[in-house]
């Protein structure tokens, strides 16, 4: 965790989304149902209503500060609460103040306007409590420990990693760089806005197997194939995320606000167990950029990818299916 040269609150701000509405191109508004946002996933899906002509979204917010925020003997004054929406892809940053619901209360509320033209995919929403400490204004007293995701495209409020899967004949692909991987069944490209898996249609049978909906051995082999692909994807996106970190002036890494941040928050507890994700990120960054420790960490990264891919479950199902087939053939 970070160390601040002044007193702060020890617990995080709790942020809730309480309403979402869309302003359409004809000036009307569509109040979305609660299915447009998930408190558990901490995600808002603005594509859920199926509108192609929405101009902006108004997101109602409620934030609760930790105990002690309004204490008479607090080390700060001029307390303010600010919601900040950050889009790492379009470099748009929007800040709005929240209003205190009741004098001396810890609940604050307000709304944030999200303009569709400012965003291409996902943005990150956090809330900060700031005040004047030691005569220095605008110092952070507390903040949310996990940002909400505002997804301007998705129809489902799911926080997990989004992938774009494309089929292509690698040997004759218009993407010339794919031709160098003509003998690979798939390749993961992490340089795009959304990580993309290219499946090689030149590999005989791979598309038919992936698209099969049957049961029996075929389905188990398909599950194994998908698990292997998913392991490769999680490994690739982790390395893509950790290799593209911004660094603070003091040398510490900054959590990304797009899919890269989601990948890191998902995998770091298995890569560096037992510590907060912020500290885990610093340890991984030090090992990657330092003189030692990075090679040894590859086993933990692979383990984290295997867990996300449910590879053990797919393997167990395949083994049981083969054992059952063998027993039946021996009768």
176-188 residue pLDDT tens: 999 999 999 999 9
Q: Render the burial of 250-282: b for 16+ CB within 10 Å, e for the rest.
A: eeebebbbbbbbbbbbbbbebbbeeeebeebbb
Contacting residues for 324 by C-beta, under 8 A, at least 6 apart: none
**Strand, coil or helix: 43:** strand
Torsional sign, CA 314, 300, 280, 270: positive
Rounded Cα distance, 190 and 33, in Å = 34
pLDDT for 215 beyond 70 = no
User: For residue 327, with 0-12 CB atoms within 10 Å meaning exposed, 13-18 middle and 19 or more buried, which class applies?
Assistant: exposed
Tell me which of 116 and 1 has the higher pLDDT: 116
Own/partner pairs for 263-268, CB < 8 Å, 24+ apart?
263/161, 263/234, 263/237, 263/238, 264/238, 265/146, 266/160, 266/161, 266/308, 267/234, 267/238, 267/301, 267/304, 267/305, 267/308, 268/304
Residue 303 has pLDDT above 90, yes or no: yes
| Closest to 86 in 3D by CA, of 19, 35, 153, 150 | 150
Average pLDDT (220-240) is 88
Question: What's residue 216's pLDDT?
Answer: 66
* CA 305 – CA 231 distance, rounded (Å): 5
For residue 256, the Cα-to-chain-centroid distance in whole angstroms is 9
Mean of all residue pLDDT scores within the chain: 88
103-107, 185-189, 195-199, 218-222: which range is least confident on average?
Answer: 218-222
66-102 pLDDT, tens digit each = 999 999 999 999 999 999 999 877 889 999 999 999 9
Query: What CA–CA distance (Å, rounded) separates 222 from 213?
Result: 9
- pLDDT on residue 184: 93
Q: What angle do CA 128, 133, 135 make, to 5 degrees?
A: 130
Decide if 48 contacts 77 (C-beta within 8 A). Answer: no
Assess contact for 166 and 199: CB atoms under 8 A.
yes
User: With bands split at pLDDT 50, 70 and 90, how would you rate the model's confidence at 109?
Assistant: very high
For residue 148, give the DSSP letter. Answer: E
pLDDT exceeding 70 applies to what percent of the chain?
96
Q: How many angstroms separate the CA atoms of 242 and 284, rounded?
A: 8
Rounded to whole angstroms, the Cα distance separating 278 from 254 reads 9
CB 130 within 8 A of CB 140: yes
- 19-33, 156-170, 186-200: range with highest mean pLDDT: 19-33
| Per-residue pLDDT at 325 | 75
pTM: 0.61
């Amino acid at each position: 965790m970070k160390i601040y040269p002044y007193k702060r609150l020890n617990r995080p701000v709790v942020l809730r989304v309480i309403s979402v509405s869309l302003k359409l191109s004809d000036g009307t508004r569509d109040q979305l149902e609660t299915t447009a946002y998930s408190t558990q996933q901490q995600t808002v899906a603005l594509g859920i209503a199926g509108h192609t002509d929405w101009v902006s979204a108004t997101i109602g917010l409620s934030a609760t500060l930790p105990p002690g925020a309004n204490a008479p003997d607090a080390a700060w004054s001029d307390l303010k609460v600010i919601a900040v929406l950050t889009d790492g892809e379009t470099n748009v940053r929007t800040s709005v103040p929240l209003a205190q619901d009741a004098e001396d209360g810890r609940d604050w509320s307000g709304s944030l306007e999200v303009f569709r033209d400012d965003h291409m995919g996902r943005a990150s929403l956090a809330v900060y409590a700031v005040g004047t400490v030691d005569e220095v204004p605008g110092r952070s007293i507390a903040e949310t420990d996990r940002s909400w995701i505002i997804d301007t495209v998705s129809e489902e409020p799911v926080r997990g990693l989004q992938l774009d899967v494309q089929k292509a004949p690698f040997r004759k692909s218009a993407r010339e760089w794919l031709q160098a991987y003509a003998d690979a069944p798939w390749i993961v490209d992490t340089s795009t806005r959304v990580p993309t898996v290219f499946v090689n249609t030149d590999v005989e049978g791979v598309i038919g197997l992936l698209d099969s909906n049957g049961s029996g051995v075929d389905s188990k082999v398909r599950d194994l194939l998908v698990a292997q692909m998913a392991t490769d994807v999680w490994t690739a996106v982790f390395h893509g995320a950790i290799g593209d970190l911004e660094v603070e002036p003091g040398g510490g890494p900054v959590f990304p606000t797009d899919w890269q941040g989601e990948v890191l928050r998902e995998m770091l507890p298995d890569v560096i167990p037992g510590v907060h994700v912020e500290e885990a990120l610093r340890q991984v960054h030090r090992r990657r950029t330092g003189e030692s420790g990075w090679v040894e960490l590859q086993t933990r990264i692979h383990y984290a990818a295997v867990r996300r891919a449910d590879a053990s479950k797919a393997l167990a199902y395949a083994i049981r299916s083969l054992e059952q087939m063998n027993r039946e053939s021996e009768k």
